[in-house]
Structure 1
């Protein structure tokens, strides 16, 4: 049975799609059968980035082959990305969840949770991770997001991960926020932190992975999925 995972936040720009792409790319490049379901209609940023990546690959090729042709010659298989709105995705995810074709399903949800079908999707998901920046607006949005999720599916495991953090931020400040978040919700706060670096944003794409960037997060997530990590 595949595990359905989603990075969810109601505030834009917190790294939701970035974390999805990094994690999906790592699992795919390490042999897992994964699929991404892009429900962020009509933006469909995941689908657009895949089209951009294939176009750029073709533009850089002297023979002007398509991106798909180049990857096929290299023997590289892309992970599939399907697109839909949230309401339609509930049916798609229900079908995928009962199949043995994939090991992981990553659902890229829109920035707002006030959309038709979102409750059905939350009931299907196995794990939710809240990406959050170290600033008040992002933290408030993260807590509100958890409130909505718990209202739809009170038993679903929720993780919390700091993203786009600048190294100058004081550890004491971050720990104070973590203590407050834990007092509000039962949540696993990842030790992993996605730091704000130019390299991550410049190299981010749907064709290759950044194992050195995301390995620690994936290791922690795998432990969570296997039940080796406790939700505090």
Structure 2
């Protein structure tokens, strides 16, 4: 199964969400996961290599890759349909290398923040993806939510995004998230992320069940 974590707006916390979700899927749900880091900064791959030196056997593999590598990676992904493959996408839409990734995806996790620029970018990203892959489920995650966000703004953004996909619970802006690694999720953030990722896991399970019937 191919899970994308993406948004063309930078700073929405894609890589942190990818790490948290990979930790949740392996450590809580005991799923086999491979995380492909296609973000330009490749911060996940760097954390992974650093952690391997200091820790024991990693709970999942992290592969540093570029968009151009996907056609080769895709053949390997298709050989292991039971494995959950997560792809942390670069924050862009203007690259034809995204087309095969969008077309073969089974689920999109789309973090965003409650500001005008993030909202516009998020909507455009979701619409483009849906044009390429009309049936893909999308889960929008309000991320790095600050305490001063107006309630009216939240309501309107949630209303508009709900037309394109499902909304998860909010994840607040907390310093603890900076301590997430490929081996560990800080204890104080676990109660915050569990409701979000339980919803994501339900969507994953539903897609797997549908694929089994096909």
CA contact (8 A) 1:35 1:79 kept: yes
Q: Secondary structure of the residue that 1:226 maps to in structure 2? A: helix
- Is 1:32 matched with 2:31? yes
* Counterpart position of 2:62: 81
Q: Which runs of 4+ in 1 moved over 3 A?
A: none
Structure 2 regions of 5+ residues with no counterpart? 208-214
CA contact (8 A) 1:131 1:163 kept: yes
Structure 2 CA distance, aligned partners of 1:82 and 1:167? 35
Q: Give the Å deviation of 1:90.
A: 3.3
Structure 1 CA distance, aligned partners of 2:199 and 2:121? 24
Q: Deviations over 1:159-218 (max 9, x none)?
A: 211000013323332112211333xx431111x1111011122x2111112433321111
Q: Give the Å deviation of 1:111.
A: 0.7
* Residues 171 and 50 (structure 1), Cα distance of their counterparts in 2 relative to 1, 3 Å cut: same
- Is 1:186 matched with 2:151? no
CA contact (8 A) 2:113 2:145 kept: yes
Q: Secondary structure of the residue that 1:12 maps to in structure 2? A: coil
Structure 2 CA distance, aligned partners of 1:222 and 1:95? 23
* Counterpart position of 1:16: 14
* Counterpart position of 1:4: 2
CA contact (8 A) 1:4 1:97 kept: no
Structure 1 regions of 5+ residues with no counterpart? 55-65
* Counterpart position of 1:224: 203
| Paired residue total | 203
* Counterpart position of 2:80: 99
Structure 2 CA distance, aligned partners of 1:11 and 1:100? 30
Q: Deviations over 1:57-108 (max 9, x none)?
A: xxxxxxxxx42xx41xxxx543101122112123313321331562x11101
Structure 2 CA distance, aligned partners of 1:196 and 1:133? 10
Q: Give the Å deviation of 1:115.
A: 1.9
CA contact (8 A) 1:130 1:160 kept: yes
The CA RMSD over aligned residues, in Å, is: 2.0
CA contact (8 A) 1:40 1:86 kept: no
Structure 2 CA distance, aligned partners of 1:22 and 1:28? 10
